Chain A
Amino acid sequence: MLTKNSQQNIVWSILWAITILLMIVLLLLIGYVFVKGAPEMKLSFIFGPTTNGGLMTPIVGTLYLTIMTLIFLIPLSVGTAVYLSEYAEQNWFTEFVRYSLTSLAGIPSIIFGLFGVALFVMIWFKKASIIAGSLTLTCLSLPFMVATTEEAIRSIPKAWREASYGLGATKWYTIIHVVLPNATSGILTGVIMSIGRVIAETAPLLATVGFSAFLPVSPMDGTRTLALHLFYLATEAPTVGGLTRNDLLSQAMAVGTVLIILIILLNFLAKLIFNHFNQKVRGFK
């Protein structure tokens, strides 16, 4: 018989080993991309015009698309979550809406791409554009974002609402001053996941934002994201300027490096903004 203590030690060691293993795999993966991409990581490549093979358009396009998507996504999903948890009567209809949202979360993103093409590209905007792409991504991220926000809203203690109502607050005032400020962590989780999707997805964007190499100006312009550019590099035959397969591969790795750095930066930025917002609404200066 093992003592309680040595049992604990064994469990602890196993967990520790798993964690370390995971870390190593992750570091290897990122390290491999970074090392392979390093020879190509020149400023002239990263910030060079895409018509000459640089990454300017994919970087700008990715950021543009991220921002546009969040502009649609945050108000829509927070509004839906507030409605579902605070206003809607809890009946078969709200259950149905929730169930639909959960099912939507499991649908392959290419289906959303098809839907985006059918509605936003063919009917609304008549061309592949940033706005069509961001609306498509909004549909894609909405289910998850609503779920995390609703979860956060539901976990707010009843006592806080009571305190607010007890001081004569209306429902709306309570939502603005108590409910939402304390749901920011849930909203943030959703935002970070959504940023990840904007950056990582290719399938729903192929036909909705297109492949344009030119710098986008208006939301009606098409563009390409880093992931799309990767896709392009990986599938294009080595014709441009006599580049070999190997050149293209290390270019792709460099794009991967930029992509990883961008994700880290954007998540960090999102956290900063939310922390700032959080402190402000809670009145801790």
Chain B
Amino acid sequence: MKKNENCDHIKLSVHHLDFFYGKKQVLRKISMDIHKHSITALMGPSGCGKSTFLRVMNRMNDLIPEARAIGTVLLDNEDIYGNNTDVVKLRQRVGMVFQQPNPLPKSIFDNMAYGLRIKGIKDKQKIAELIEKSLKKTSLWGEVKDELHKSALSLSGGQQQRLCIARAIVMEPEMILMDEPCSALDPISTTKIEELMKELVDDYTIVIVTHNMQQAQRVSDWTGFFYMGDLLEFDKTKEIFHHPKEKKTQEYIEGRWG
């Protein structure tokens, strides 16, 4: 887990990250390399800082006034916490699916088009095509194609989450951060999302927070295990699940708590 300089296969590299909400420290000395075209799973008991860590990667925590991150986070070898980072560009490059589905109070179509319009895409035809493609990928198209102008808030929880995934994908970011994207989905949609992730990973780099061990094993290449603000263990998923080095990791995986 040492800092990788000039490594072509590293998309994002976190080094010695401390994170505070006010005086309360929630992440301690986290170092982690996210490999290009890989799926990295973050696991750990509730409240250990997984969402916080995920939100560090696209500076979503900037919105919380008392939040403070100290350390380096390099995206393609550039410090995203550096002075000349364009946060708006960063969030277009590193997309996010939130823990709670958060469609905007607009129509399904306008939700999908929101980011595209920000990107400056004006061509109506192109927008419609991109939207159709993404909605098909999250298998929502069949359900909503006739009512794209209905409010996104009228969708069910699972549909909303798939809309949010589609909304992130349609932006064609380089990296996608997913915070428990399947927690509101039925098994069939979950399988579809997992297949989608595997398909997307050829072009994107994906980080996913999950409480589901099977899911982590099914989809991820790397797994990080967080415990009370520390990254206890980070390794290839196979290693973590078959030869965990830490006792806490093993206990967690065996489902003895958490």
Beta-carbon contact of A168 and B106 below 8 Å? no
Beta-carbon contact of A163 and B91 below 8 Å? no
A178 to B167, CA, bound (A): 16
B60 to chain A: which residues have CB within 8 Å? 162, 165-166
CB distance from A185 to the nearest CB of B (A): 12
| Interface flag for B109 (CB, 8 Å) | yes
Beta-carbon contact of A168 and B107 below 8 Å? no
| Interface flag for B118 (CB, 8 Å) | yes
CB distance from A15 to the nearest CB of B (A): 32
| Interface flag for A239 (CB, 8 Å) | no
Beta-carbon contact of A166 and B114 below 8 Å? no
- Selected from A167, A178, A182, A283, the residue in CB contact (under 8 A) with B91 is A167
| A-binding segment of B28-36, B69-77, B96-104, B200-208 | B96-104
A137-165 to B contact mask, C-beta < 8 Å, 1/0: 00000000000000000000011111111
* Majority-rule SS of A interface residues: helix
| Interface flag for B18 (CB, 8 Å) | no
Beta-carbon contact of A284 and B149 below 8 Å? yes
| B-binding segment of A28-36, A119-127, A169-177 | A169-177
Given the interface pairs A168-B88, A170-B88, A182-B105, the reply to whether A161 lies near B119 with Cβ below 8 Å is no
- Selected from B63, B150, B171, the residue in CB contact (under 8 A) with A168 is B171
Given the interface pairs A282-B105, A283-B149, the reply to whether A166 lies near B96 with Cβ below 8 Å is yes
Total chain A interface residues with beta-carbon distance under 8 A: 22
A285 to B114, CA, bound (A): 16
| Interface flag for B95 (CB, 8 Å) | yes
Given the interface pairs A168-B92, A177-B114, the reply to whether A162 lies near B98 with Cβ below 8 Å is yes
- Selected from B102, B105, B106, the residue in CB contact (under 8 A) with A162 is B102
CB distance from A170 to the nearest CB of B (A): 6
A285 to chain B: which residues have CB within 8 Å? 149
CB distance from A167 to the nearest CB of B (A): 4
CB distance from A285 to the nearest CB of B (A): 6
| Interface flag for B124 (CB, 8 Å) | no
A255-285 to B contact mask, C-beta < 8 Å, 1/0: 0000000000000000000000000001111
Instruction: Kindly identify, within residues 84 to 141 of chain B, every residue whose CB is under 8 Å from any CB belonging to chain A.
Output: 88-89, 91-92, 95-96, 98, 100, 102-107, 109-110, 114-115, 118-119
| Interface flag for B151 (CB, 8 Å) | yes
| Interface flag for B58 (CB, 8 Å) | yes
A169 to chain B: which residues have CB within 8 Å? 88, 114-115, 118
A160 to chain B: which residues have CB within 8 Å? 102, 104-105
A196 to B92, CA, bound (A): 46
B63 to chain A: which residues have CB within 8 Å? 158, 161-162, 165
Instruction: Kindly identify, within residues 179 to 193 of chain B, every residue whose CB is under 8 Å from any CB belonging to chain A.
Output: none
Instruction: Kindly identify, within residues 141 to 166 of chain B, every residue whose CB is under 8 Å from any CB belonging to chain A.
Output: 149-151, 164
CB distance from B171 to the nearest CB of A (A): 7
A182 to chain B: which residues have CB within 8 Å? 105
Residue of B with least CB distance to A161? B63
B226-237 to A contact mask, C-beta < 8 Å, 1/0: 000000000000
B58 to chain A: which residues have CB within 8 Å? 166
Beta-carbon contact of B88 and A159 below 8 Å? no
Beta-carbon contact of A159 and B98 below 8 Å? yes
A177 to chain B: which residues have CB within 8 Å? 114
Residue of B with least CB distance to A173? B118
**Which 10 pairs, one residue from A and one from B, show the smallest C-beta to C-beta distance?**
A167-B115, A168-B92, A159-B102, A283-B110, A163-B102, A283-B107, A166-B96, A168-B91, A283-B106, A168-B118
A-B contact pairs, 27 of them (CB 8 A): A159-B100, A160-B105, A162-B98, A162-B102, A163-B98, A163-B103, A164-B114, A165-B60, A166-B58, A166-B60, A166-B91, A166-B96, A167-B91, A167-B114, A167-B118, A168-B89, A168-B115, A169-B114, A169-B115, A170-B88, A173-B118, A181-B105, A282-B106, A283-B110, A283-B149, A284-B107, A284-B149
A: residues with CB less than 8 A from B are 158-170, 173, 177-178, 181-182, 282-285
6 additional contacts (CB under 8 A) given A161-B63, A283-B106: A159-B98, A163-B164, A165-B60, A166-B168, A168-B118, A182-B105
